[in-house]
Amino acid sequence: QVQLVESGGGLVQTGGSLRLSCAASGTIFSVNTMGWYRQAPGKQRDLVASITSSGTTNYADSVKGRFIISRDSAKNAVSVQMNSLKPEDTAVYYCNVINYNPRSAQAYEYWGQGTQVTVSS
């Protein structure tokens, strides 16, 4: 029903910037949360940033002031602009959507395939 495709990962030097984008296909309901998680080797998968359909944003403390999440609800897309990148930002980044079906009052969660971000020292 829903498929997420990420783009924009790559290799960047410390202090550089990358922009990750995620395009969702399928049925995306009007009430939803879109965001990005990341997972480094041997680490938990943690929230990076999220944004609701009403525009409320949440950021991990480690990225506040450096990353900005945005969405284009009409296109069912979410992006995160990552600035002042640090080596500790190196991880696989995953797009995430929580989709709320108003008819069933159920929430469904979807994940992208992941895109590698590597920040060199």
Tens of pLDDT, residues 57-73: 999 999 999 999 999 97
Predicted local confidence at residue 63, as pLDDT:
98
Whether 108 contacts 4, CB under 8 Å: no
Q: How far apart are CA 116 and CA 114, in angstroms?
A: 7
Query: Average pLDDT, stretch 90-110?
Result: 95
Predicted local confidence at residue 4, as pLDDT:
96
Predicted local confidence at residue 28, as pLDDT:
87
